[in-house]
């Protein structure tokens, strides 16, 4: 996942609205969102290369979402564990987000850079192994991409702005809110060259990846997902998938009733 924008506890009917894009090589084998046979109760897409996921939900309304932290290849270990196992581990667990992150501290450094968003009930926590420690974002609109928490990129600023307008203009109905979130995720505009981050890539590559929706023949946005949790505890999951050059490749809708 390369962008996660979320509105937390700032809408009277929908305590969580999450809009996320997964950017990946189109050749990497992937399964669409589905109910896993194990761990029991897990709902997520699956990375068939490493076996994990980038976004999922689990028993009791647990939600986990992951982005990679972009860093030079020279700083990577040869064979680290897959970051995609972290959301799966949390969703199959019963610990609070804070307890899970506390127990993860001893092994977090063995993974390549990640940002991990964890939600359960009324608790939301964002942690990273490339930041200063876990943070609990307060009510409001937030976004994280492929930089450590607190590092603001043009796409995260734009995502917060668009999601805020979407909530204000379309928040009266669930369907209106979902379509506004998908409109955010479909934004292909690159950042101005003066705003591009410097992460060791060429200027052309930085420009390509600066868009919220990345269009490419080999690499790009593979999946756009909108999750909305209502006050009754129902999770509304909408997913749209894409192939090379943004060609539509299917969609899924799930409704998971967890209750309160």
- Least Cα distance to 155 among 33, 67, 32 occurs for 67
pTM of the full structure:
0.96
Query: What are the phi and psi torsion angles at 208 (to 5°)?
Result: -60, -45
| DSSP per residue, 242-260 | E-GGG-EEEEEEEEEE---
Peptide bond into 39 cis (omega under 30): yes
pLDDT for residue 260: 62
Instruction: Note the pLDDT tens digit of each residue in 107-142.
Output: 999 999 999 999 998 899 999 999 878 999 999 999
Number of domains in the chain: 1
CATH number at residue 193: 3.60.60.10
Helix axes 154-170, 174-185, angle to 10 degrees: 160
- Give the pLDDT means over successive 10-residue stretches in the chain (260 positions): 94 96 98 96 97 96 96 69 97 97 95 96 94 91 92 96 93 93 97 93 95 98 98 96 98 90
Tokens matching residue 11: 């809408």
pLDDT for residue 75: 52
In a 3-state reduction of DSSP, which class is residue 203?
helix
Query: What are the phi and psi torsion angles at 30 (to 5°)?
Result: -145, 145
In which domain, by residue range, is 59 found? Answer: 3-257
Instruction: Note the pLDDT tens digit of each residue in 66-83.
Output: 999 998 765 555 689 999
In a 3-state reduction of DSSP, which class is residue 234?
strand
């Amino acid at each position: 996942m390369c962008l996660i924008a979320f509105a937390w506890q700032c809408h009277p009917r929908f305590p969580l609205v999450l809009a996320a894009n997964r950017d990946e090589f189109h050749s990497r084998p992937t399964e669409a969102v589905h109910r896993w046979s194990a761990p029991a109760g897990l709902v997520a897409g699956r990375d068939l290369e490493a076996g994990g996921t980038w976004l999922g939900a689990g028993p009791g309304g647990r939600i986990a979402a992951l982005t990679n932290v972009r860093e030079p290849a020279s700083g990577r270990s040869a064979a680290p564990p897959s970051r995609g196992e972290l959301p799966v581990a949390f969703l199959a667990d019963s610990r609070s987000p804070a307890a899970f992150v506390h127990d993860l501290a001893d092994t977090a450094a063995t993974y390549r850079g990640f940002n991990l968003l964890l939600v359960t009930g009324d608790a939301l926590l964002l942690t990273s192994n490339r930041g200063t420690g876990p943070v609990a974002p307060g009510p409001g609109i937030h976004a994280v991409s492929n930089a450590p928490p607190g590092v603001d990129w043009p796409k995260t600023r734009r995502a917060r702005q668009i999601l805020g307008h979407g909530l204000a203009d379309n928040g009266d109905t669930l369907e209106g809110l979902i379509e506004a979130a998908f409109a955010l995720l479909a934004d292909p505009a690159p950042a101005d060259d003066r705003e591009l981050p410097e992460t060791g890539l060429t200027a052309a590559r930085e420009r390509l990846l600066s868009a919220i929706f990345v269009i490419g023949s080999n690499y790009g946005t593979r999946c756009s997902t909108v999750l909305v949790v209502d006050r009754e505890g129902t999770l509304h999951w909408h997913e749209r998938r894409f192939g090379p050059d943004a060609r539509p490749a299917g969609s899924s809708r799930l409704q998971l009733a967890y209750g309160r």
